[in-house]
Structure 1
Amino acid sequence: MESLFKTTPLNDFWCRTRGLHFHVVGEGVVRVRTPRQERVCDRENYIDFRMRLLGEPGQGPQVLSPGIHSFPFKLGLPLGLPSTFLGKHGWVQYYCKTALREPNGLTHKNQQVFIVMNPIDLNLEPAGLGNISGQESFKCEVEHKFGVSCVGSAPVICKVTLDRGGYVPGESIGVSATVYNKSKVTIKSTKAALTETITYMARGKVVNAEKRELASLTRGKIRPGEKDEWINEQLYIPPLPPTNLRGCHLIKFIIEPKSLQKEVKIQLPIIMATYPLRNDGESSAYRSGTHYPSTLPIFRPWLEEKPTLD
């Protein structure tokens, strides 16, 4: 990381300071409320770097003249950092904090969040993730019988195929499926959804899980004896961080009966990466049209929670 910190003395007057302190923090935090309203917390530190940009210990106050003062510096980030992530019950976040201390004890503080994207190259992942150069696509098949008594009843047969098992944001997932309704129950709809499942751990235990639906495609009803086919339907992937946290991305193909019976789900795990698959002869790992998160919210809901009275 390369940066240029600037400070501006207030009101165009000379400013006396005891030091300008700089702190880079990278942390993973989980904060979960139990059904009894007890808080379970855990924390991991990835970066904790401190330095003085102005002033030395034991020296007297420094004087800053009116105007803008720049303090250039460089900081190399460690390898293998988890990507920035914000969830309902925790976060992985990186930020810089500065403190300008005056001789009278007054301290001016500021903080700036920055994003870390840990790269995942699909070209270095197992061959089964793509269909380039003759590799096979991802497939899944299920046979389900509706009704309380399934003896002698005909099934609903569903086959789902993805064009590959790894993608980058901005690409589209090619979904192909065949749903053959041999039952006597009308299928209200079928749906393909890109979902994210996040598992939160604290003190070595799973304390909560969060599921998000990121994108979806829906088709209409299938009457008894009818068949519906999805042919390379395109499910667009929005800007997302890569898959290198305690969670996973799934394609869920959902069959919803028209009656009160439970829906049928087919799940296919996929990888979200930062570098797309290359065709033979391509020298660059990048492909035009890919999109990554350029900004992430810095709002943490639990910081706004009002304390409860015991």
Structure 2
Amino acid sequence: MAPHGGRKLLKFLILFENSSLLFFPGQFLSGRVLVELEDETPVLGLFFHVVGEGVVRLLKNGRQHISDRENYIDFRMRLLGEPGQGPVLLSPGIHSFPFKLGLPLGLPSTFLGKHGWVQYYCKAAFREPAGLLHKNQQVFIVMNPIDLNLEPPILAQPFHCEIEHRLGLNCFTSGPVSCRVRLDRGGYVPGETIGIWASVHNQSRVTIKRTKASLTETIQYMAKNRVVQTETRELASLNRGKIKAGETDDWRNEQLYVPPLPPTNLRGCHIIRIQYDVFFQIEPHSMEKPIKLQLPIMLATYPLRSDDGTLRRKRGAHYPSTLPIFRPWLDEKTFD
């Protein structure tokens, strides 16, 4: 980035040793601030600031309004100059000022959403005695992975949900619709499939139009400890056809694919929450509302392994070699 200001400053860059700009909590953020000068230049100070922050921002009357924010990193250091001292004279040519910072454990992952974000960046400021201030900024990405092998073992077990619901205007003469749903486990990674078993017994007098299973992502934005905005989108779905009155339909290990998703771990962030659910939905032919069962699941970064360390490959799994950093569907319409 070419600096604004005087002709003397030819280059002012923040360069990371890790050129991918992707870091894990606990790693070192190291690099250098590079200054190239055309002439001998007096400098009052070179300042360096590392910031990690979460922000929830809502539009109010068409104007941007920050509802809440929190800090994860706020690290400042002076790379050149002493407080209260006079200017330092730098010779023409290239000057390199190293920096190194251990990233704290437990940082939430970088996240960009419609109404908020978790972002990490470095800022450098180069101050000359005449009052000239040159600034530069460099974003970096933090990925805090979730390893299914380190989560509670219950996530590797199947889990169930059931409901009984009466359809029809005369609930006393019409029998119930009963439904049992089971997922093969409670935790998955992108590229795997969710195995679904279900039994829907229609004892009502109403035909069921279809049954549907969908994987959804719900993002909640918080401000002052309350949810101020929610967005939910469907990531994948499966359908089966009608069930007439008195009939039963069974789902037998139907496979719902988990698409490639950014590996988002927002533990440590208190103003944005992200949740994944499998919804099983029964849609009557009548005007009645669909019957919904909600099964919360965990989506992780690293898949389950056997005791000998080998990958427990799921049937139908296509583990992607890379995952997107951001959500490509951010600009798509959300549904309620």
Structure 1 length normalisation: TM-score? 0.79
Q: Which of residues 44, 53, 63 is equivalent to 2:70?
A: 44
User: Match of 2:142, SS?
Assistant: coil
Q: Which of residues 283, 302, 306 is equivalent to 1:256?
A: 283
**Preserved CA contact (<8 Å) 1:24 1:49:** yes
Uncovered stretches (5+) of structure 2, i.e. residues with no partner = 1-27, 332-336
Q: Which of residues 204, 224, 227 is equivalent to 2:245?
A: 224
The whole-number CA distance in structure 1 between the counterparts of 2:209 and 2:222 is: 37
Instruction: Output one character per residue of 1:163-193: Cα deviation in whole Å (capped at 9) or x when no partner.
Output: 1101223322222222233333333332222
Aligned pairs (5 A) from 1:132-281:
137-237=158-258, 238-240=260-262, 241-242=264-265, 244=267, 246-281=273-308
The whole-number CA distance in structure 1 between the counterparts of 2:40 and 2:184 is: 63
Query: Per-residue deviation at 1:150?
Result: 1.1
Assess, with a 3 A threshold, how the Cα gap between structure 1 residues 59 and 193 changes in structure 2: closer, same or farther. Answer: farther
Uncovered stretches (5+) of structure 1, i.e. residues with no partner = 132-136, 302-310
**Preserved CA contact (<8 Å) 1:22 1:98:** yes
Are 2:30 and 1:7 aligned? Answer: no
- Give the structure 2 partner of residue 307 of structure 1: none
The whole-number CA distance in structure 2 between the counterparts of 1:100 and 1:170 is: 46
- Give the structure 1 partner of residue 325 of structure 2: 295
Instruction: Output one character per residue of 1:216-261: Cα deviation in whole Å (capped at 9) or x when no partner.
Output: 2233333334433333222222223136353422111112223321
Are 2:13 and 1:16 aligned? Answer: no
Assess, with a 3 A threshold, how the Cα gap between structure 1 residues 236 and 20 changes in structure 2: closer, same or farther. Answer: farther
User: Match of 2:169, SS?
Assistant: coil
Q: Which moved more, 1:107-116 or 1:248-257?
A: 107-116
Instruction: Output one character per residue of 1:103-122: Cα deviation in whole Å (capped at 9) or x when no partner.
Output: 44333333222222333332
Aligned pairs (5 A) from 1:34-113:
39=65, 41-57=67-83, 58-63=85-90, 65-66=92-93, 69-113=95-139
Structure 2 length normalisation: TM-score? 0.73
Dislocated runs of 4+, deviation >4 Å? 33-40, 283-288, 290-294
Amino-acid identity (%): 58
The whole-number CA distance in structure 1 between the counterparts of 2:97 and 2:313 is: 34
Count how many residue pairs are aligned between Structure 1 and Structure 2: 292
RMSD: 3.4
* Aligned residue type for 2:175: A
* Aligned residue type for 1:163: D
* Aligned residue type for 1:212: R
Q: Which moved more, 1:164-173 or 1:115-124?
A: 115-124
Greater strand fraction, Structure 1 or Structure 2:
2
Query: Per-residue deviation at 1:55?
Result: 3.8
